[in-house]
Amino acid sequence: MNRGHFPFVNSSSSSESSDEFDEWLEYENEAVEIEEQIAINMIARNNYVIHQLLLIQQSDQEAEMAESPVHVNLVPIEATSESFADYGQVIEASSDGDLFGPNDAQLDLSRGTPRFYIMRLEGRSFGFSTITHHANVTQCLGSVGGHVWYLGVAKPSLIEDVGGERGTRVVESGSDGHLYAPPTVEEVRVFRFSGPKFVKLNRGTWHDGPFFSDSSMDFYNLELSNTNEMDHTRHSFKKKNGVIFRFEDSTSS
């Protein structure tokens, strides 16, 4: 492009000079726009290449961690209203006629159709490497018959103030587009439940289980009709952190 050429300088009349100047100015503006677009395209391409290289590097790191995970042993904590407060509620029997109060399950079933059913589980050994949360419901679980069972948990990490301060946290997108911070290895706990009680998980509480020593066990489960299909965000500690959690059955202790 001959960007330094001024075709209107030698024109014979001011009118012609003005027209030629307008043509030249239009030409110059188009040339600048083309050069800017070329620069933008080059930056975008470079960013894309860098992003792809980072994804490859992350994938290689995750594959390496998954091949040789570290086993982390957890000590089960007896679930009580106090010990489980960061994750939800432990609901125990109350007298007939008691009015609704803070010791009752504080439910949020407003985002869909509630589903209450009995869930039969089989062969749940004492270990896990993935953990799940539900962003749209306060799930409730309890053993039919009040048997001993265990649940792995981590605190909720939903980011519901989209415009708020996130600091240095890693932010990911969940199954329905909601935002959350991935759980950390240090946050994971295992709780032991026994007797006639059930657990209400707060919205977003990470959990895996139930686990138990019997060959099978029935649980009543309160969630939404589409929780398992539409509201099931999972984090793999084995893939992302190179960790598998283990714990021992403390039933006989």
Mind listing the pLDDT tens digit of every residue in the chain (253 residues)? 455 555 544 545 566 677 777 777 777 788 778 888 887 877 777 776 666 666 555 555 555 555 788 999 999 999 999 999 999 999 999 999 899 999 999 999 999 999 999 999 998 889 999 999 999 999 999 999 999 999 999 999 999 876 655 556 789 998 888 999 999 999 999 999 999 999 999 999 999 999 999 999 999 999 999 999 999 999 999 999 999 999 998 765 4
Q: What is the pTM of this model?
A: 0.72
Report the distance separating Cα 17 and Cα 35, nearest Å.
27
Report the distance separating Cα 240 and Cα 62, nearest Å.
6
Q: Which amino acid is at 33?
A: E
Query: 251, 250, 245, 253: which is closest to 152 by C-alpha?
Result: 245
**pLDDT at site 253:** 47
Report the distance separating Cα 106 and Cα 99, nearest Å.
13
**pLDDT at site 159:** 93
Query: 200, 82, 81: which is closest to 134 by C-alpha?
Result: 200
Token pair for 230: 């539409």
Report the distance separating Cα 80 and Cα 43, nearest Å.
56
Query: 32, 195, 227: which is closest to 119 by C-alpha?
Result: 227
Report the distance separating Cα 173 and Cα 196, nearest Å.
37
Q: What is the arrangement of strands in the sheet containing 70-74, beginning at the earlier edge strand?
A: 70-74, 243-247, 127-128
**pLDDT at site 147:** 95
**pLDDT at site 148:** 96
**pLDDT at site 121:** 96
